[in-house]
Amino acid sequence: MSETIGFLLNDTARLYRRAFNARTRDSGVTALQWRLITYLRRHEGIRQGPLAELIEVEPITLSRMIDRLAEAGLVERRADPADRRAWRLHLTPRSGELLNGVRQIAETLTDEAIDGLSEAEHNQLVALVERVRSNLSRRECVKEDQ
């Protein structure tokens, strides 16, 4: 059996993305864009670098996601008055409206994904995956460990 945990996680994540995107196609927001926006909501005015670190993607990856979100009118790049190299990211009012609908879909999908799992199993699943994530995370960025 080469069904290692890596492949299994990949498969499952891909199926989740696919299901999410299939349901939100009309809204024009993908699973990952939605996630980015939920982070942004809690970090209004954050710069791209720290946000990229927060969600653990490369700066360039984030940069291009922001490109698309800005083009869609969901996110705004504002010049940082203190550093002319940097942007500060802000959500537009339009994003708020959109997100209420999407949040519903996301919650439903999550419920379906964990269908049949008890509360305890669900908690355990999250805890175990988080441990795997932190195992994989620390070996890439030994720079900070807080």
Partner DNA sequence: GTGTTATAATAGCAACTGCTACTATGTTCA
Partner DNA sequence: TGAACATAGTAGCAGTTGCTATTATAACAC
Residue ranges in contact with its own copies by CB under 8 A = 2-20, 22, 31-32, 35, 38, 55-57, 106, 109-110, 112-117, 121-122, 124-126, 128-133, 135-137, 139-140
Alpha-carbon separation of residue 143 from 2, 47, 86 (angstroms): 33, 19, 22
**Min dist. Cβ of residue 43 to DNA (A):** 13
Among 16, 23, 27, 30, binds DNA (CB under 7 A): 30
Give me the DSSP letters along 11-43. Answer: HHHHHHHHHHHHHSTTTT--HHHHHHHHHHHHT
Tokens 């696919």 belong to which residue?
18
Among 40, 66, 102, 106, binds DNA (CB under 7 A): 66
Which of its own copies, DNA, none has residue 105 at its interface (CB below 5 to 8 Å by kind)? none
Token pair for 28:
């024009």
Distance of CA 59 to the CA centre of its chain: 14
Binding site for DNA (CB under 7 A): 10, 14, 17-18, 21-22, 30, 32-33, 47-50, 56-61, 63-66, 68, 77, 80, 83-87
